[in-house]
Each structure stands twice: as structure tokens, then as C-alpha cells.
Structure 1
Amino acid sequence: MHKTLHSPQHQRLVAWLKKARCDQGLTMRDLAAKLGVPHSFVGKVEQCERRLDVIEFVTYCEALGVNPIDGINQLMK
């Protein structure tokens, strides 16, 4: 199994998360505040420097008000 941090699937998922944030007019700092993390956390996720585990992914989606299943579907394309 290859590392997935820079895989096309991971990049699609991150792009989907970033689009959801931008569509809501949230800055990285706004989202970070909702998550209770430093804004650098969001920046690292969006720059594909940090991977989210499953629980973090669901929490991230909840903070954005999006369905995590829709994000998983991005991986299946």
C-alpha cells in the first residue's frame, strides 16, 4: 500500500472540504475556532500536509455542516 497523503483521492477530499468552507464564507480561523484547534491545523489539512483520521474527519464535516458520507463519495470517484 502506498502513502496516500498526496494521492489524487486525498486531494479530491481536501478540495471538497475547502470548497465547503469557502462556500460558507468561513476563513481558516473561523473553522479552526469551531473545531477548537489552531488555524494552522486547518491550513495543514488544506495544503495536504496533514491527514485527518476518521473521527477528526467526521468532526471537521460537522463543523462545516456537511455530510461525511458525501466526502467519502469523493474518494470513490
Structure 2
Amino acid sequence: MRSIHDPRYQDLMKKLIELRESQNVTQVELARLLNKPQSYVSKVEILERRLDVIELIDWLSVLKTNIAEFIS
């Protein structure tokens, strides 16, 4: 099984999308904060591209969320 198809990873991505949306941050805004193109955010969110741990920390940092709180 590819890791982006692992249900645990999919749940993590759903939670990350919910976090972004709960803060009323668009994909375009998140991409700007990350200094990435919007397509990068989109591909991660639709499971075409996998985030590594460092990238996850970057996303959570710009969304002002502690990784320990996010994972719990």
C-alpha cells in the first residue's frame, strides 16, 4: 500500500484541511505563507503529493498550531 493511501495518512490530511478551513485560510493564502505555489497545497490536500514531517511542521507553524496539539 502506498503511504498516501494509508487510512492514517488520509485522516491526518483531513484534519490538516479542517484546521486550515477553521482558520479561514485559503489554499492560495497558505501557499503564499509557505512560499510555495497553490498547486503544491492542492496536490497535498487531494493526496497526489505526500507531506514529510518537516513540511508538516512548516504547515502547522504558519497555521500557528503546535504539532503535539495537532497530533493528539
TM-score surpassing 0.5? yes
Distance 1:12 1:59 in 2: 19
Distance 2:70 2:10 in 1: 12
Counterpart residue number, 2:53: 54
Counterpart residue number, 2:10: 11
Alignment partner of 1:49: what SS? Answer: coil
Alignment partner of 2:5: what SS? Answer: coil
* Count of residue pairs the alignment pairs up: 72
Distance 1:8 1:69 in 2: 20
Paired letter, 1:39: Q
Distance 2:14 2:22 in 1: 12
Paired letter, 1:30: E
Q: RMSD of aligned C-alpha atoms?
A: 1.2
Q: Which runs of 5+ in 2 are unaligned?
A: none
Distance 1:62 1:26 in 2: 13
State the percentage of identical aligned residues: 39
| C-alpha distance 69-22 of structure 1, shift in aligned 2 (>3 A) | same
> Given the two structures, how large is their TM-score scaled by the length of structure 2?
0.90
